[in-house]
Amino acid sequence: MDCLTKRIGDFMNINEDYKSHIKLAKLIALSLVMIIITLNYNSVKANAAVNEKLNINNTNISFLENKTDENILDNLLVALTGKVFGYEVILNDDLIGYTFIEDSLDNIEESLLNIYLREKGIKREDVLSYKVDMKLDLKKNRFDVELLQTSDEVAKALYDIAKKDKDEINITVKYIKEEKIEIKPSTVIIQSDNLYLGESKVEEGTKGLSKVTKEITIDIDEEIENKVINKSILIKEVSKIIYKGTKNPYEYGVAFLNHPTGGGYMTSGYGERWNSFHKGIDIAGDTGDDVIAAMDGEVIYSEYNDGGYGNLIIVKHEDDMETYYGHLNESYVKVGDKIKKGDIIGAVGNTGFSTGPHLHFELRIDDEPVDPTDYIVKKVNGAA
């Protein structure tokens, strides 16, 4: 009986011990679960933040996945504190940003170059060489995961600095640029004996196209070098051709002179007159009426003439032809002026030996006055 009682008593004691052990075990287990949950929470939070940055950056490096002892310790600290190890980005002793990738100096430089190329409209494949001039340092530190930046974000901040001051950061890029350039048609003048002097015929040309390859060097704000390294013709231009008449219309008896006042009666013809010889024709007009160049030419005389012409303009034309415009009230041209057929060169007047406002007009061939009447396109009214 005693024996049984003792056994039961032992059993009871064992049972009591067992219960308290279970209690302790439960407590320990709960604590462990709490720790694990906390660890996991921080770890997941940090992991998510880092992965987000890494995904943006398109990089596969994640120190949370590195299995070196140091990183496992780092990871544990990340998990416990929410703070990560990373690098402060320092430009000339100034803190610019925070990054976390081991090789981030190269990544930052690469991102900076890409931002610059994008801004300048330069394709990466056209870049021959480049240089990023900056004194950038990385300093290892521990900081809140929220501060982490991608290489692109750090590079953007650096680019803003570069744009303001290239002494802080300068970027030099040598690249190839291809340009298509229009070629204007050249002009060729061809003498033609199918046309009279003063006449011309134009055959329009067409534009060409060339491809120019340049090697350009620029830095952050200016072009340093720009040289053409190759030029090729894509479309050949076709020259504009101007056919200029060489046939002398006087010799062919063709009317070729513009009417020198545009109209008006002829009051006195060419030839013998009273006791003298009239070297030209007189055309009635009012003071101030336009006097018009009869043909293209160059002014060789434009002043008052004492011989009776009064204010006189002499225009020299091709093939030693000249036209005279006398008794002018006013001249609008000077010696050396190149004028076109139809240009207004002066005004009708009453200067010199003249009894009323009119134009005295002469045509001279090799300095000899001839009768111009038949050579004036719009014949003087009243003349045959």
CB 91 within 8 A of CB 138: no
Contact status, residue 151 vs residue 111, Cβ threshold 8 Å:
yes
If one asks whether residue 53 binds Zn ion (CB under 5 A), the answer comes out as no
CB of 186: closest distance to Zn ion in angstroms? 46
By CB under 5 A, residue 364 contacts Zn ion: no
CA–CA distances in Å: residue 250 to residues 152, 197, 271, 294: 82, 9, 18, 13
Question: Whole-angstrom Cα distance, residue 370 to residue 253?
Answer: 12
Q: How far is the CB of 352 from Zn ion (least distance, A)?
A: 9
Judged by beta carbon, residue 53 or residue 327, the one nearer Zn ion is: 327
User: How many residues bind to Zn ion according to rule CB under 5 A?
Assistant: 2
158-163: long-range contacts, CB 8 A cutoff, minimum separation 24: 158/91, 158/96, 158/108, 158/112, 158/134, 159/112, 159/115, 159/116, 159/119, 161/91, 161/96, 162/112, 162/116, 162/134, 162/220, 163/220, 163/221
Q: Are 311 and 291 in contact (CB under 8 A)?
A: no
Stretch of 74-82, 132-140, 286-294, 354-362 contacting Zn ion, by CB under 5 A: 354-362
**Residue 360 or 364 having the CB closest to Zn ion:** 360
Q: What is the DSSP string of 135-150?
A: -EEEEEEEEEGGG---
Judged by CB under 5 A, does residue 317 bind Zn ion? no
By beta-carbon proximity to Zn ion, the closer residue of 282 and 289 is 282
Q: Of residues 53, 317, 360, 364, which one binds Zn ion by CB under 5 A?
A: 360
Interface with Zn ion by CB under 5 A: which range of 108-116, 117-125, 359-367, 372-380? 359-367
Judged by CB under 5 A, the stretch of 58-66, 84-92, 244-252, 352-360 that binds Zn ion is: 352-360
Task: Kindly give, in sequence order, each residue whose CB lies less than 8 Å from that of residue 320, ignoring residues fewer than 6 positions away.
Answer: 365, 366, 367
129 vs 355, beta carbon nearer Zn ion: 355
Which range, of 30-38, 50-58, 133-141, 279-287, touches Zn ion by CB under 5 A? 279-287
Closest CA to 302 of 320, 326, 318: 326
Q: Which is nearer to Zn ion, 282 or 322 (CB)?
A: 282
Nearer to Zn ion, 88 or 286 (CB): 286
Residue, CB closest to Zn ion: 360
Closest CA to 147 of 98, 93, 100: 98
**Interface region with Zn ion, contact rule CB under 5 A, candidates 71-79, 83-91, 337-345, 355-363:** 355-363
Residues 6+ apart with CB under 8 A from 141: 85, 86, 87, 88
Which spans in 94-193 are helix H? 104-120, 151-164
By CB under 5 A, name the one of 109, 282, 289, 322 that touches Zn ion. 282
Question: CB of residue 280 vs Zn ion: minimum separation in angstroms?
Answer: 5
Q: Closer to Zn ion at the Cβ: 195 or 370?
A: 370
Q: How far is the CB of 370 from Zn ion (least distance, A)?
A: 14
Residue type, 301: Y
The nearest distance, CB 268 to Zn ion, in angstroms, is: 6
Residues engaged in binding Zn ion (CB under 5 A): 282, 360
